[in-house]
Amino acid sequence: MAFCKKIKTLPLMLPIMLLLALLSGCGEPVTTQTQNSQIQDSSGMGELMSGDITGFDKVKPTTALSFPADHGPHNNFRQEWWYLTANLTTASGEPLGLQWTQFRVALKPLNPAPEQEPDPALNQAAQSDNSWQSRQLWFAHAAVTRKNSHIAAERWSRGHGALAGAGGSPFAVYLSDWRWQSQTEALFPASLAVAHSGDKGTLAYRLNLSSSSPLQLQGDKGYSAKSADAGLASHYYSAPFIHIEGEVLLDGSWQQVRGQGWLDREWSSAFLGLKQQGWDWFALRLDDGSALMLFALREQNAKSFTHANRMWPDGRSQKLEVISMSPSDYHQGYPVAWQLNLKDKSAGENNGTGSELNLKVEALNPDARMALSMQYWEGPVRISRGDSKSDSDNKGDIDSKSDSHIGEGYMELTGY
């Protein structure tokens, strides 16, 4: 559930970078890797990501997702992303995590507001992948996280077929030489290559990705509500069961890695409301072979909006009720350890009792802050057996069954 921000709210440095990428007639995409120039979210992510969506497409619960078409861009929605996280192990047994996200942001809608006169020539140019007069901004983030190190990088580009984009047959998502390349119109099998050298070090990986599991439609058949009144939503689907093999550049040499990955696809014109400060998002793989997607959207002076979905490789899924999400440790202001307690909704409806899922989640490296142009925390986590909420709050309650697991996954924290 990676994020974008409303362009007009960015500080002076970033619009200058964007102008270089969007207005220059030629040249490479803008590349940055910064630990000092960070955007602070003191007003909350909702204020930065909300705004006038006149002319942009809206997420509708009646829209049926269609593949392979929905793997590609949705240019008249304001924001979208392709987001991969992976928990990998080197040949020597060292655990590490890596992340790659490519974002698209529409600077203006393709369809003008009703009071404005349309310009057919401009709209035609804006929709062309090879027009320099683009209304689309693309940028990408990448990171490699080990127990004692974390390196992150970003790139920016205008929308142009020679620089950045998504789609095609075979399917690809790319910004310069950062590239997801499928072999067909489907997402898998595919390769992913990322390479960046900067003042904080070198980040590079070359991966092969495969998955035979069905795509998982999040929310209600891909309509993912982001507020209690369903006034905010996104289209959202996931590929939680990806097998990965490849190599990562570590300490100056290429090392073989293998493990599991998770791809999220999401698009909307309004992800958050003004009162929503940010989110806590978890993509967790449990030792019974299932995967858990969980998020909480934090609201000012109100209860957070939560959603949880447990999934299996054969395509089954199960909505869970979030009983509690309790931070247990902080690092640099970010909650890097959690106690999660969830309940099987369907079991409760059928017989009045439901099994609880109790997990303790801890960061592999607490210092996994993505100190880029937009600051947030993102990194791999380890899962151990958590405490039962029922056991601690309702001693002697025999109607609840506690279920706990070990595992691994990824966590993203925004708006802190």
Contact 325, 340 (CB under 8 A): yes
Mean of pLDDT values over 82-94: 98
Which positions ≥6 away from 223 have C-beta within 8 Å? Answer: 59, 60, 61, 63, 233, 235, 236
Q: How many residues can be counted in the chain? A: 416
What pLDDT shows up at residue 34? Answer: 38
Residue 117 has pLDDT above 70, yes or no: no
Residue 351 has pLDDT above 70, yes or no: no
What pLDDT shows up at residue 5? Answer: 39
Mean of pLDDT values over 345-354: 52
Q: How confident is the model at residue 355 (pLDDT cuts 50, 70, 90)?
A: confident
What pLDDT shows up at residue 265? Answer: 98
3-state secondary structure of 17: helix
Residue 115 has pLDDT above 70, yes or no: no
Share above pLDDT 90 across residues of the chain, in percent, rounded to a whole number: 65
Mean of pLDDT values over 321-348: 91
3-state secondary structure of 51: coil
Among 211, 208, 281, 209, which Cα is nearest to 241's? 211
What pLDDT shows up at residue 31? Answer: 54
Share above pLDDT 70 across residues of the chain, in percent, rounded to a whole number: 76
CA distance 311 to 348: 18
Which positions ≥6 away from 234 have C-beta within 8 Å? Answer: 59, 224, 226, 266, 267, 268, 271
Q: What tens digit of pLDDT does each residue of 186-210 get?
A: 999 999 999 999 877 899 999 999 9
Residue 309 has pLDDT above 90, yes or no: yes
Neighbours of 199 (CB within 10 A): 7
What pLDDT shows up at residue 141? Answer: 97
Residue 15 has pLDDT above 50, yes or no: no
What pLDDT shows up at residue 118? Answer: 44
pTM across the whole model: 0.85
Residue 62 has pLDDT above 60, yes or no: yes
| Helix or strand run (H / E) with residue 302 | none
What pLDDT shows up at residue 111? Answer: 66
Pairing assessment for the beta strands 149-158 and 164-167 based on DSSP bridges: unpaired
Give the sign of the dihedral formed by CA 71, CA 74, CA 75, CA 78: negative
**Which amino acid is located at 14 in the chain?**
L
For the record, the structure tokens of 67 come out as 């593949």
Q: How confident is the prediction for the chain on average, in pLDDT?
A: 83
Q: Which structural domains are found in the chain, ordered by start?
A: 7-413 (2.40.370.10)
Q: What tens digit of pLDDT does each residue of 156-165 get?
A: 999 999 999 9
> Phi and psi (nearest 5°) for 303?
-70, 140
Residue 404 has pLDDT above 90, yes or no: no
The DSSP annotation for 110-160 comes to SSPPTTSPP-HHHHHHHH-TT-SS--EEEEEEEEEEETTEEEEEEEEEESB
Strand partners of residue 174: 165, 179
User: What angle is formed at CA 109 by the lines to CA 78 and CA 111, rounded to 5 degrees?
Assistant: 140
